[in-house]
Structure 1
Amino acid sequence: MGEFMKSQKFARFCNRFFTYAFLLLLSLIIIYPLLITVSTAFREANIVSFQLDLHSNWTLDNFRELFTNTLYKNWYINTLIIAVATMVLQVVIVTLAGYTYSRYRFKGRKYSLVFFLIIQMVPTMAALTAFYVLANILNALDTYWFLTLLYVGGGIPMNTWLMKGYFDTVPRDLDESARIDGAGHLRVFWQIVLPLVKPMLAVQALWAFMGPFGDFLLAKFLLRTPEHLTVAVGLQQFISNPTDQKVTLFAAGAFLAALPICILFFFLQKNFVSGLTSGGTKG
C-alpha cells in the first residue's frame, strides 16, 4: 500500500513538473520576441537588426519621430477605423446568422452550412485576382469600405459555425417559456438568448478587431495611396530597403499597434475561456 501511494505521489509530481516546464518554455518562446521588440522600440539610436539589449539608454525619440516625420498617424487612424467597423459589422452579422441557423429550420439550411465550410477552405491568395477585378468594377480600389467588407465577408463562414455551436448550448426551453409568456421572436433573441452568449460575442469582437491590424496581403494589394495604408503595410516600408532599414521605428510602430488589441483583450478577458470552450460543443 505504501509503495502504491509513493508511486501515485511520484506520478503527480512528474505530471506537475512537466506541465509547469512546458508552460515555462512556452512563456519564454512568447515573451522573448516581445522583449526584443520593446527594447528595440526604446533604443536611443537606430540599429541594423533586432536584438535584446536591456542595458542601453532608453528614449521616446522613436515614437516622436513616428508621429512627426512619418505617416504613421494616418496609418494608425486608418487601421483603427477599419478594425472598429469590421468588428461591429462582423459581430452583428455573425450573431444573427448563428442564431438563425441554431433556432430555425428552413430550406437550404444544411447545404448552406456545408457551403460555408467549403468557402473557408479557399485561401485568400486564390481570391486576390477576383477581389482586384471586383474592386475595379466597383471603383473601390484604395477605399476603406471595400477592404472592410472583405474582412467581414472572410470572417462570416467559420465564425457563423462557432456562433451556431454556442447558441446550441443555450437550452431551447428558455425560448419556449418566453414565448408562452407572450414574447415575440425579437424579444426572445434580444432579452433572453443574447445575454447568455456574451462570452462568444467577446471572442468574436476580439478576433474581428485583430484582423485588420495583422493583415498585410489584402491591404497591400488593394490600398495604393501612402496616406491610406494600414499599420501593417506602412511599417513594412521601414524595413523593405536593405540599405536603409529603420528597425527602431518599425519596433516602435509595432509596439503601438499592439496597444489597442491589448486594451480590448484585458477588457474582455473574463469572457474568453467560456466563449472559446463552449463554441464547439455542439454542431
Structure 2
Amino acid sequence: MSESTAPSAVGVAAASAGLIDGEDERRIPTKRPVRPGRWFRDTGWRHVVAVVLVVFAVFPLLYVVSASLRPNGTLVGSNALFTSLDLTNYVKLFQNPSQPFGLWFINTLIIGGITAVLTVFLGAMAAYAFSRMRFTGRRVGLLSLMLIQMFPQFLAVVAIFLLLAAIGDVFPALGLGSQLGLIMVYLGGALGVNTYLMYGFFNTVPVSIDEAAKIDGASHAQIFFTIILRLVAPILAVVGLLSFIASTGEYVIASIVLTDPNTQTLAVGLYAFISQKFSNNWSIFAAGAVLSALPVMAVFLGLQKYIVGGLTAGSVK
C-alpha cells in the first residue's frame, strides 16, 4: 500500500477524538432555565412548610429559655426574647429548703431510670414469648394488649388511689407516698403498649436464627439474652427512651401517689412554684423546666445511634 493511500495515525486519532467529542456533546443534556413558579410547585412549597414547622417548634423553647433568664420573676413583658441574661433564677432553685429542687431532680432520675430499664426488660421477655412460643391464650393475650392500650392510664386514677391505699395497710413500701409504688403503677400501665410494639419488631427477626441456635444446644434463655436482644437493640432503645420521657414528665398519677415533698418528682415539685394564686415565680418555673429537659436530651443523644440504626434496618428488611 502506498503512503498516499494509507491513513495516517494522526488523522485517525484526530477523527476518533472528534467523534468522541461529538458524542459527548450530544450526551450532555442542556440545562433548562429555572422558572420560580415551577420550582415552587415542585419542591419550593416543601421548604416553606419545613421552615414554618421549625419556627413553630423552636419558638416555645426559646421563649422558655428567655423567660428563665429574666430576673423579674414574671412572664409579663417577656415578648422580647433575651433582653436580659441573668442566672439568678437558676440559683434560687437550689436555695429554698421547703422546695428541694435538687432532691426532686434525683428522684426523677431514679424513678425514670428504673421504670425505663424494667419496662424494656419485662416488655422484651413478654414480646419474645408472644413472638416465638405457641401456648394457650396467646391470641387472647395479644387482643387484650390491643384493647388495654386504647384507654389512657389516668382514667384509673381513683382505682389506683384506692388500691395503693389498701396495699399500704399491709405493705407500706408499696403504698401511698412510696416511689416503689409509683414505679409499679408505671410498669403496669406501660407494659401493654410496649409489649405490643416490641412484638412487631421481634417478628422481623428470622426464626431460622433461633432454630440454628437450638440445633447447637442453646436454650430459650440463651437465645434470648445472647442473640435476640442484640438483634432488637434499636426497638429496646426506642422503648426505653419513650418510657423515660413518659415517667419523668407524668404529673397526674405522681401527684396522687407521692404525698411527701421529699419523694416528689420534678413534674410535681415544679407545680408548687406556680400553684399559689397570683404567683410570681414563673421565671423560676421556667428555669426548672429548662433543667428538667437536660436528662431527656442526654438520654436521646446517647441512644440516637440505635434509633437511627433501627430506622435504616427496618427500611431494607
Same fold (TM over 0.5): yes
Tell me the residue number matched to 1:34.
61
Tell me the residue number matched to 2:171.
none
Map 1:1-283 onto structure 2 (within 5 A): 14-49=41-76, 51-69=78-96, 70-139=99-168, 140-275=175-310
Structure 1 letter corresponding to 2:216:
D
Structure with the bigger RCO (C-alpha within 8 Å, sep 6+) is: 1
**Could you say what the CA RMSD is over the residues aligned between the two structures, in angstroms?**
2.6
SS of structure 1 residue aligned to 2:232: helix
Check whether the contact 1:98–1:161 (CA below 8 A) recurs between aligned residues.
Answer: yes
SS of structure 1 residue aligned to 2:50: helix
Check whether the contact 1:44–1:56 (CA below 8 A) recurs between aligned residues.
Answer: no
Q: Per-residue deviation at 1:88?
A: 1.0
**1:18-44 superposed Cα distances (whole Å, 9 cap, x missing partner):** 222222111111100000011111113
**1:69-96 superposed Cα distances (whole Å, 9 cap, x missing partner):** 1321121111111001101110100011
| Structure 2 CA distance for aligned equivalents of residues 109 and 277 of structure 1 | 31
**1:119-142 superposed Cα distances (whole Å, 9 cap, x missing partner):** 222232321111011111111101
Structure 1 letter corresponding to 2:306:
N
**Structure 1 stretches (4+) deviating beyond 6 angstroms?**
9-12, 276-279
| Structure 2 CA distance for aligned equivalents of residues 150 and 243 of structure 1 | 34
**1:121-166 superposed Cα distances (whole Å, 9 cap, x missing partner):** 2232321111011111111101100111111111111111110100
SS of structure 2 residue aligned to 1:68: coil
| Structure 1 CA distance for aligned equivalents of residues 228 and 157 of structure 2 | 38
Question: Size of the alignment, in residue pairs?
Answer: 279
Give structure 2 stretches of 5+ with no counterpart: 1-28, 169-174
| Structure 2 CA distance for aligned equivalents of residues 167 and 278 of structure 1 | 13
Q: Per-residue deviation at 1:273?
A: 4.1
Q: Which stretch shows the higher mean deviation, 231-240 or 33-42?
A: 231-240
SS of structure 2 residue aligned to 1:182: coil
Pick closer, same or farther for the CA change 1:55–1:132 going to 2, 3 Å: closer
Pick closer, same or farther for the CA change 1:184–1:19 going to 2, 3 Å: same
| Structure 2 CA distance for aligned equivalents of residues 190 and 94 of structure 1 | 14
Check whether the contact 2:67–2:75 (CA below 8 A) recurs between aligned residues.
Answer: no
Check whether the contact 1:98–1:160 (CA below 8 A) recurs between aligned residues.
Answer: yes
Q: Per-residue deviation at 1:241?
A: 2.1
Q: Which has the larger radius of gyration?
A: 2
Q: Per-residue deviation at 1:193?
A: 1.6
SS of structure 2 residue aligned to 1:138: helix
Q: Which stretch shows the higher mean deviation, 43-52 or 243-252?
A: 43-52
Q: Per-residue deviation at 1:167?
A: 0.6
More helix by share: 1
Q: Which stretch shows the higher mean deviation, 225-234 or 52-61?
A: 52-61
Structure 1 letter corresponding to 2:84:
N
SS of structure 2 residue aligned to 1:67: coil
Check whether the contact 2:69–2:82 (CA below 8 A) recurs between aligned residues.
Answer: no
Structure 1 letter corresponding to 2:226:
Q
Pick closer, same or farther for the CA change 1:67–1:187 going to 2, 3 Å: same
Structure 2 letter corresponding to 1:193:
I
Pick closer, same or farther for the CA change 1:20–1:271 going to 2, 3 Å: farther
Q: Which stretch shows the higher mean deviation, 102-111 or 204-213?
A: 204-213
Q: TM-score if structure 2 supplies the norm length?
A: 0.81
| Structure 2 CA distance for aligned equivalents of residues 146 and 277 of structure 1 | 38
Structure 1 letter corresponding to 2:52:
L
